Structure 1
């Protein structure tokens, strides 16, 4: 039986694939030198495309969790020599693959800076500045895992999910370890760690550019790449921003059926002959709701929801502004086991199996860090006959809830003003300080009379709560302040830091902030 992947690739000669497989194995076993292997490839195979190598990897080699880490891509390149063609077509600048390549080019530049700095006595501020940029790069992996890998899976190319994901996370963890050592002033260990960061990051980039991206171009259609852009935008990019101009898409005249839950549900109902217009109400268990109302309810829930059906396929996630972990529509229809890195797959497997069998009805996890508490709850979904129908995952940032003390029986607004009294401006401002979100031991209660580069973000938000919802209007990067990570950063960030992190000129940022607070 032919592998599904073959149906999406240009015609391939089975005998030549077999010959390439034999030559590659003999070379890896040391039975052929690189020169001998190249000669045999030229005589028995001819020109080789990147997708030939990927197809052999997918269909003819035994899968191993660390194969991507062990694979010596330099040796394979050397073996193939001038017989390999892994060139990419001339792609527009806004193509998803071009964004991956652009991120790699910037990361290569940063790694050269690492190699330069390690030669000199350590100056911590120089390294902090450099790692402030390097730490953005793991977004590159997050986009690959949630956007590119799911589409490749549908084409039968599952090796990136099952093997490269492990390497992605390993490189990410090496960068995080370097950051930790830098923060804790472990100078010798930090300098030694740079060798691992440089080696593994470059190795993975080479695997991406040699096999992954050329094979993606062979397997994925332009329409699918176009459809990928909105999810890429949702997750974000390392080192730069991308403006997603929907007017340029080829599907401009055709509405996107996956834009939101309401559209998806309306399409499904129409398929089975049910009309569900914007004002028509649907019978739900305890009431009637329009599709718009259903969608709005999901969007405004204080928790994130995901649903996996009895076939272990991801069917739905709630699209909230406060989403804790990134999601994109490419996850819909994906096997849930492929949505997790291999090192945690056994836990996912155990949760699903025990919920399915009825041995357990729920599973709880939580992440407890300074200034952050995330609660994760899985529950078995069963119908009225007790038949297993799937798993519902609920996730909530409970940091604020855990910090509550005593009782609050009077209505108090976010400004600090209660419903029973009307305060004078000065009194209301004092109440605002008393009830505003805290978390920075160094914060003061002094009113801000002017905005300077040293003005603390935490204190700005205390005095002007409206800024929290308006900052994204100044710069889209400030959306992340509503995430748990952003809340951790608020306590330390000042206007100067905001300017540096967003790439927005300092004077322009101060000017826009002053406009908002007025």
Structure 2
């Protein structure tokens, strides 16, 4: 199968430009889909599984679009991708989950049709991206938008596992660059907490090493904070700061999110919880209404935790087991 070269207006962009990266990544995805199509499961099942596992890296691309590109488009007044295209992402994710189940159950006969459907949908997504989403984004977004996007793109990652960022200085960490680009912290050496005193570095470190994803949405329904842990359950990047929370969730979940906010603001509820299966892991998600001393609503705290291994705990463990 032959694919055209990158458009001239793309090859003219810097190598590190997010839009050029998206186009080059699409060429990689197209080759990956050809490889998937040429690796039927009934001939070499393990090879098929290996290629499919790589195709599943498409989640990083969709996460970049949802958490990086879409927020900047919203800031420039285009909300369509956050609503329509995100739903299509979820449709492809559903197909990937179906194939994963068929692989686990060795349903060889069913795999061929599912793979055909996957390839068809992913090609359609590429077509919409290259002919509508990306050209419009190039017209709408400003150079500072693309520059700010680079850091978050690197943090989430790419489908091509060998790709490396080409712009950020090696001596500066992702967290340092994101902090500089997104938020200017006040010059306060110590903060008096309800219990004890911490400085900003200690607060950041505590939240970074907390084994739970934390996101805070303020009373105006805008994302104000998320913790930057090494092993986040759900991807986040600096582009989400200041974004209206209803655009931070898949369209099929928006009504539930809005209902939670409504109940919290009205004071009728203070907590909501869910648990889901995500990438073979059990994820516990909780929302807490945040109120001040006068019980006035100040926002909502979202906490997500992988509890898969916690669920397996039995009996007691009272001794240190480092040396065993």
TM range (shorter): 0.7 to 0.9
Which residue of structure 2 aligns with residue 108 of structure 1? 30
Q: Residue 29 of structure 2 contacts residue 159 of structure 2 at CA under 8 Å; is this kept in 1?
A: no
Q: Residue 230 of structure 1 contacts residue 244 of structure 1 at CA under 8 Å; is this kept in 2?
A: no
CA RMSD of aligned residues (A): 2.6
Q: Using the TM superposition, give the Cα deviation of residue 128 of structure 1 relative to its aligned residue in structure 2, in angstroms.
A: 1.8
Which residue of structure 1 aligns with residue 72 of structure 2? 151
The DSSP-based 3-state class of the residue aligned with 2:192 is: strand
Selected match of 1:317 from 226, 229, 238: 226
Q: Residue 86 of structure 1 contacts residue 211 of structure 1 at CA under 8 Å; is this kept in 2?
A: no
Gaps of 5+ in 2: 1-6, 171-175
1:350 aligns with 2:272: no
Residue-pair matches, total? 312
Q: Residue 265 of structure 2 contacts residue 297 of structure 2 at CA under 8 Å; is this kept in 1?
A: yes
Selected match of 1:298 from 207, 221, 238: 207
After superposition, the Cα gap between the structure-2 partners of 1:374 and 1:114, relative to the gap in structure 1 and judged at 3 Å, is closer
Q: Residue 362 of structure 1 contacts residue 377 of structure 1 at CA under 8 Å; is this kept in 2?
A: yes
Selected match of 1:231 from 152, 163, 168: 152
Which residue of structure 2 aligns with residue 90 of structure 1? 12
Q: With structure 1 as the length reference, what TM-score do the two structures score?
A: 0.56
Q: Residue 233 of structure 1 contacts residue 244 of structure 1 at CA under 8 Å; is this kept in 2?
A: no
After superposition, the Cα gap between the structure-2 partners of 1:257 and 1:111, relative to the gap in structure 1 and judged at 3 Å, is closer
Which residue of structure 2 aligns with residue 41 of structure 1? none
Selected match of 2:185 from 244, 265, 268: 265
Q: Residue 148 of structure 2 contacts residue 181 of structure 2 at CA under 8 Å; is this kept in 1?
A: no
After superposition, the Cα gap between the structure-2 partners of 1:171 and 1:370, relative to the gap in structure 1 and judged at 3 Å, is closer
The DSSP-based 3-state class of the residue aligned with 2:185 is: helix
1:8-58 Cα offsets, whole Å, 9 max, x none, are: xxxxxxxxxxxxxxxxxxxxxxxxxxxxxxxxxxxxxxxxxxxxxxxxxxx
1:373 aligns with 2:282: yes
Q: With structure 2 as the length reference, what TM-score do the two structures score?
A: 0.87
After superposition, the Cα gap between the structure-2 partners of 1:125 and 1:409, relative to the gap in structure 1 and judged at 3 Å, is closer
Q: Residue 103 of structure 1 contacts residue 137 of structure 1 at CA under 8 Å; is this kept in 2?
A: no
Gaps of 5+ in 1: 1-84, 249-254, 267-274, 417-431, 433-518
Selected match of 1:334 from 243, 246, 257: 243
Q: Which has the higher contact order (CA 8 A, sep 6+)?
A: 2
1:358-392 Cα offsets, whole Å, 9 max, x none, are: 11111111236898432221111111111111101
The DSSP-based 3-state class of the residue aligned with 1:399 is: coil
CA distance in 1, matches of 2:216, 2:108: 46
Selected match of 1:222 from 132, 143, 156: 143
After superposition, the Cα gap between the structure-2 partners of 1:174 and 1:147, relative to the gap in structure 1 and judged at 3 Å, is same
Q: Residue 86 of structure 1 contacts residue 214 of structure 1 at CA under 8 Å; is this kept in 2?
A: no
CA distance in 1, matches of 2:278, 2:21: 33
CA distance in 2, matches of 1:371, 1:138: 14
CA distance in 1, matches of 2:48, 2:229: 36
Selected match of 1:206 from 124, 127, 150: 127
Q: Higher Cα Rg: structure 1 or 2?
A: 1
After superposition, the Cα gap between the structure-2 partners of 1:371 and 1:194, relative to the gap in structure 1 and judged at 3 Å, is closer
Selected match of 2:101 from 177, 180, 196: 180
Q: Residue 213 of structure 2 contacts residue 229 of structure 2 at CA under 8 Å; is this kept in 1?
A: yes
Q: Residue 363 of structure 1 contacts residue 378 of structure 1 at CA under 8 Å; is this kept in 2?
A: yes
After superposition, the Cα gap between the structure-2 partners of 1:408 and 1:224, relative to the gap in structure 1 and judged at 3 Å, is same
CA distance in 1, matches of 2:178, 2:232: 22
1:84-138 Cα offsets, whole Å, 9 max, x none, are: x9954611222211221122112212223344455x9643233223213222222
The DSSP-based 3-state class of the residue aligned with 2:205 is: helix
The DSSP-based 3-state class of the residue aligned with 2:144 is: helix
CA distance in 2, matches of 1:244, 1:135: 24
The DSSP-based 3-state class of the residue aligned with 2:179 is: coil
Which residue of structure 1 aligns with residue 298 of structure 2? 389
